[in-house]
Amino acid sequence: MTADYKVHGDIAVITLNNPPVNGLGYATRVALTDGLSKANDDAAVKAIVITGAGKAFSGGADIKEFGSPKALQEPNLHSVILMVENSSKPVIAAIHTVCMGGGLELSLGCHYRIAAPGCSVALPEVKLGLLPGAGGTQRLPRALGVEPALNMIVSGEPVKSEMLAMLPGQQLFNKMAASSESLLQEALAYASEVADVRPLPLVRNLPCKHPQGDAYFQFARNMVGGMSKNFPAPLKCVDAVEAAAKKKFDDGLLTERDLFINLMWTPESRALRHIFMAQRAASKIPDVPADTPTREIKSIAVIGAGTMGGGISMNFLNAGIAVKMLEMKQDALDRGIATIRKNYEAQVKKGKLKQDKYEQRMSLLSTTLSYDDLKDADMVIEAVFEEIGVKEAVFKELDRVMKPGAILASNTSTLDVNKIASFTQRPQDVVGMHFFSPANVMKLLEVIRGEKTAKDVLATVMALAKKIKKTAVVSGVCDGFIGNRMIEQYGRQGGFLLDEGCTPAQVDKAVEKFGFAMGPFRMGDLAGNDIGWAIRKRRYLEKPDMKYSKTADLLCEKGRYGQKTGAGWYDYVAGKRDAIPNAEVVKMIEDHRASLGITPRKISDEEIVQRLVYSLVNEAAHILEEGIASKASDIDMVYLMGYGFPIWRGGPMNYADEVGLFNVVQAMHRFAKNPLDDAKFWQPAPLLAKLAAEGKTFN
Ligand SMILES: NC(=O)c1ccc[n+]([C@@H]2O[C@H](COP(=O)([O-])OP(=O)(O)OC[C@H]3O[C@@H](n4cnc5c(N)ncnc54)[C@H](O)[C@@H]3O)[C@@H](O)[C@H]2O)c1
């Protein structure tokens, strides 16, 4: 049973009871319609109150039914709402805490609505590339007014009930309760008050018009179209609300239905729904049950106050967790603190952070030069130079001073976490926490699971990631982990494209048109070309037969490290981030090409994008096969959150699924025939080849 039924005097109360947010899944819908029938059949009942147990009226559709036929199984939400409307006795929605999506649509079918203050009210379907499909686009404009309703439907953002109640002429809430606690009592009283009023009022009968008519919808289209370039749903929301304003109610409902079904089939909506599920799935580790106990983390030590150490510390200060930073020298600590202050002060200046909050955060920060001062910390995160010898010295010290049970994390981006763990007597407490730069901004955290990392350490780190608002994805140990291991192949393809005839600007433009925030060369300039240079020196020394373009090395030999030196693949003017193509760099590429005896050819944008994106996909398939990532959707999350992969394409694996793995493999076979490319790399990973042959997908 997912709704409770109880009669108070002559009022029946149906309480949705499907934790955590009373999702309107099949069983809940059945229980709700059963309750409605019972109340209508009971002569002693004069009115019906629908409310929600626990922390929501209703959060809407049950995500477990997403995209499954169960969501449409009768009684579907439409039928439930129709049944509410047709009840011979008044139905009053008693709304509190959360009233979203289908929950709000259900309440709009009720004859009356009473709301508690502080309730988050939203129609968030647009965030999944959809629009409200159970009458929301037709009823909300009638209840609230066209303009505020359209704003809510197009943005999907929650608005507080008391704000909505203040809108002039609104009929969304007939009454506001004093509080969530008194809501039920007030709803019962209100139900008694309206029990005998006939005819029963219906939102569908309210007028719906915008005083400016067509001109308003034209304006709305211009605004919404400009802001939602790659997403079709927001403009369709405008169409649906326009139908509410111009058509008869039932015709408007049909328009909404058509628009909803069409959106359901768009790749953009599939991508957004995939991301929604992927985000939830990322925190689940197959062999670490959800009830694994976690260790208490009240204070953190950070070793190294450089670029990463400072950013990492800010995450915890923001979450109210005390941080102690350790450095070798006082001036390094001073510099680190000054950078943190500068970052916070910029936020204060922009009005994003209150002065007292800033001071409160800084008061949680302390520094030291001595390891012995770290003995009380619950966890330590190391962010020192990327050299195994330095890491060894640091971890030996940490092993000496940290209290038993403390978690020892490393922010290494390339080094072997198992080796780092072996420097201690407690490898079970060692884990990798790979933050991305700038660490206080970037949402991605790769959690590196060592061979011996304990399950409760993993569970603790995943919970902590949530607390500091990161999307954490677990990766096994390998060079580059998930993200950087894939990006290496992408970078190699970028180099080959230069050798074969492209300019950096051409490659970047093609990739940016595909939707990446930045092409590979602009990204290199931002991250610092010297970082990749150092990695190549180390890596290709170990793999002398690895084929790669030398152009990036030549660039670094000229000292063109990127934005930090004012020159990289492009030129930069101080204080600006615009990439200005540089003739000397183009000449350098041409000379190098000539020295290899290559005649340049014109390469299409399509080939550029395919080679770059499929290189990610092929490497990812190896990563999946080796168990470095436990699911394809984790790889998508890494690329969406950490590497600027276009959201509406849902990540590289989802994109490959959309293209069709058979087609992806065919393209790889074509690329393998290019003598200037790396034929060995383009052998499809066995997992990819198998899925393609079986007509299957990654996700
Ligand atoms: N910069 C990035 O984009 C990035 C991204 C992810 C991970 N990382 C990793 O983070 C780590 C730090 O990188 P960074 O960019 O912050 O480097 P950085 O050079 O900016 O900072 C390193 C800091 O560590 C300090 N340090 C060095 N040895 C120390 C020791 N023995 N004890 C205490 N402090 C010591 C240095 O004084 C310096 O302030 C590296 O492992 C790097 O691979 C960097």
- Distance (Å) from CA 394 to ligand 1 centroid: 12
- 293 within some domain: no
pLDDT for residue 41 is more than 80: yes
pLDDT in tens, 409-432: 999 998 999 999 999 999 999 999
Closest CA to 488 of 439, 411, 548: 548
Domain-embedded: residue 289: no
* Residue at 70 is within a domain: yes
**Residue 471 and residue 591 in one domain:** no
pLDDT of amino acid 38 = 98
Whether residue 231 is found in the same domain as residue 204: yes
Any catalytic annotation for residue 105? yes
Clarify whether residues 154 and 35 are in a common domain: yes
Q: What is the CATH number of the domain that holds 529?
A: 1.10.1040.50
Query: Does ligand 1 come within 6 angstroms of the Cβ of 368?
Result: no
Same domain, yes or no: 208 and 334: no
Q: What pLDDT is recorded for position 574?
A: 87
Of 690 and 386, the one with more pLDDT: 690
Q: What is the CA 695 to chain-centroid distance, rounded?
A: 29
> Ligand 1: which of 326, 369, 385 to mutate, judged by most atoms within 8 Å of the beta carbon?
385
Which runs of E-coded beta strand occur in 304-372?
322-326, 365-368
Percent of the chain with pLDDT over 70: 100
For the chain, what is the mean pLDDT?
A: 96
Q: Is 369 in the pocket of ligand 1 (CB under 6 A)?
A: no
User: Do 394 and 255 have their domain in common?
Assistant: no
- Mark whether 487 and 519 lie in a shared domain: yes
Distance 386 CA to ligand 1 centre (A): 6
Does residue 40 lie in a domain region? Answer: yes
434 contacts 485 by C-beta, under 8 angstroms: no
Catalytic member of 65, 74, 85, 105:
105
Question: Do 305 and 451 fall within a single domain?
Answer: yes
Task: Please answer whether residues 515 and 646 qualify as being in contact, where contact means their C-beta atoms are separated by less than 8 angstroms.
Answer: yes
Which residue range forms the structural domain that includes residue 361? 299-477
Best CA proximity match to 458, nearest among 423, 513, 514, 417: 417
Residue 521, pLDDT above cutoff 90: yes
What confidence score (pLDDT) does residue 193 get? 98
The Cα–Cα gap between 172 and 51 comes to: 16
Note whether residue 278 is domain-resident: no
- Count Cα atoms within 13 angstroms, Cβ side, for 474: 25
Cα of 311 to ligand 1 centre, how many Å? 11
Domain check: are 174 and 36 in the same one?
yes
pLDDT at 176: 98
- Greatest CA span in the chain, whole angstroms? 94
412 lines ligand 1 (CB under 6 A): yes
Residues contacting residue 426 through CB under 8 Å, at least 6 positions apart: 399, 404, 408
User: 371: Cβ–Cβ under 8 A, 6 or more apart, which residues?
Assistant: 326, 397, 398, 400, 401
Q: Is the CB of 339 under 6 A from ligand 1?
A: no
Number of domains observed in the structure of the chain: 3
Distance CA 6, CA 15 (A): 8
Final residue belonging to a domain, choices 454, 477, 500: 477
pTM of the model: 0.93
- Domain termination residue (choose one: 443, 477, 511): 477
Domain boundary among 217, 243, 264: 264
User: What per-residue confidence (pLDDT) applies to 257?
Assistant: 96
Q: Which two tokens stand for residue 350?
A: 């922009």
Backbone phi, then psi, for 540, in 5-degree steps?
A: -80, -10
The pLDDT of residue 72: 86
CATH number of the domain enclosing 247: 3.90.226.10
Residue among 569, 577, 575 nearest 532 (CA)? 569
Q: Which atom of ligand 1 is nearest to the CA of 437?
A: 3
State if residue 411 touches ligand 1 by the CB under 6 angstroms criterion. yes
Instruction: Give 167-210 pLDDT, tens digit per residue.
Output: 999 999 999 999 999 999 999 999 999 999 999 999 999 999 99
> How far apart are the CA of 446 and the centre of ligand 1, in A?
17
Q: Give yes or no: residues 168 and 304 share one domain.
A: no
Q: What are the pLDDT digits (tens) for 462-507?
A: 999 999 999 999 999 999 999 999 999 999 999 999 999 999 999 9
Is there a domain that residue 271 lies in?
A: no
My answer on whether 340 and 449 are in the same domain is: yes
Whichever domain contains 317, its CATH number is 3.40.50.720
Do residues 500 and 473 share a domain?
Answer: no
- H/E stretch holding 50 reads strand 47-52
Q: Looking at ligand 1, which atom is closest to the CA of residue 414?
A: 43
**Phi/psi zone of residue 9: left (φ > 0), alpha (ψ -120 to 50 degrees), beta?**
left
Pocket test for ligand 1, best of 303, 384, 419 (most atoms within 8 A of CB): 384
Q: Out of 65, 74, 125, 500, pick the active-site residue.
A: 125
638 and 510 share one domain: yes
